[in-house]
Amino acid sequence: MANWKMNGDRSFWYNLAEQTALQAKEFKDCKFVMFPPFVALADVENALFEAEKNVELGAQDVSNYEHGAFTSQVSAEMLTGLGCSYVLVGHSECREYLGQPDELLAEKIEVAQAKGLKTVLCIGETLEEYEAGQSVQIVVEQLEKCLANCENSDLLAVAYEPVWAIGTGKVATIDDIKPIFAEIKQSLLDKFGSKGDNVALLYGGSVKADNANEIFSVDEINGVLVGGASLDATSFVDIARNA
């Protein structure tokens, strides 16, 4: 999954989408999802017109309201209307810079899923929490609170992204990651029963082609959420190539 964040401009987005979709053709067994900025969605949808079915479109956020007087917000229905099938919810940059708490994220998931959007819930601990040995506790707490109203595990994926590993070049070690994914899996099984096993789990935080192989060696990990390396089609698709 490619999180373009607030990068690029109109011609950059179009080219990146086209190039990524072209290179993704080689990997029909992988699913690729692009998350451009809101204002790029219509252009990217056009660029993906002839893309294979393994390439899909998503948005970086969604309103917790259905419609109405909510200046600046973008609704789930607007996103599906622009061809989105996915949405990110709770990215650490939205939690930090937009002040989005778990309770709000739970509402966003509910509203997005009601319109059929697959929601990728992002969770992860900060550096202080990591150093205090609280990673598992924080992640499980975020998961429980954000999924408080969620009953549809078919429209859910979970991305674990340690905040201290995002955009820093620091990748969590396999020893850091393994027990956390085991806990996430267990929490999903507790909540959704055996269906919890079908929720895709992703890792995010400075993922690149040269560390992807090791990350994918963790049994529970089904995919990766990529920021920096997704801004170049080759470096993004190389992750699939190496994995």
Which residues contact ligand PGA (rule: CB under 6 A)?
A: 3, 161, 166-167, 204-207, 225-229
Among 77, 110, 125, 161, which one carries the catalytic annotation?
A: 161
Rounded distance between C-alpha atoms, residue 117 and residue 89, angstroms: 11
CB 88 within 8 A of CB 58: yes
| Torsion angle, alpha carbons of 144, 84, 165, 203, to 10 | 70
**Residue 91 catalytic?**
yes
Buried b / exposed e over 41-67, threshold 16 CB at 10 Å, is beebbebbeebeebbbbbbbbbbbeee
**Minimum distance between the CB of residue 173 and ligand PGA, rounded to whole angstroms?**
16
Instruction: Name every residue whose Cβ is closer than 8 Å to that of residue 209 and which is 6 or more positions away in sequence.
Output: 229, 235, 238, 239, 241, 242
How near is the Cβ of 50 to ligand PGA at its closest, in Å? 27
Find the catalytic residue in 91, 93, 125, 183. 91
Radius of gyration of the chain (CA): 17
Report, in Å, the least distance between residue 204 CB and ligand PGA.
4
Known catalytic residue at 67: no
Q: Choose between 3 and 119: whose C-beta lies nearer to ligand PGA.
A: 3
Residue nearest ligand PGA by beta-carbon distance:
227
Q: How many of the other CB atoms lie within 10 Å of CB of 126?
A: 17
* Nearer Cβ to ligand PGA (44/122): 122
Indicate the residue among 67 and 170 with the shorter CB distance to ligand PGA.
170
Q: How far is the CB of 193 from ligand PGA (least distance, A)?
A: 29
Q: In terms of CB distance, is 36 or 205 closer to ligand PGA?
A: 205
Instruction: List, by residue number, the catalytic residues.
Output: 91, 161
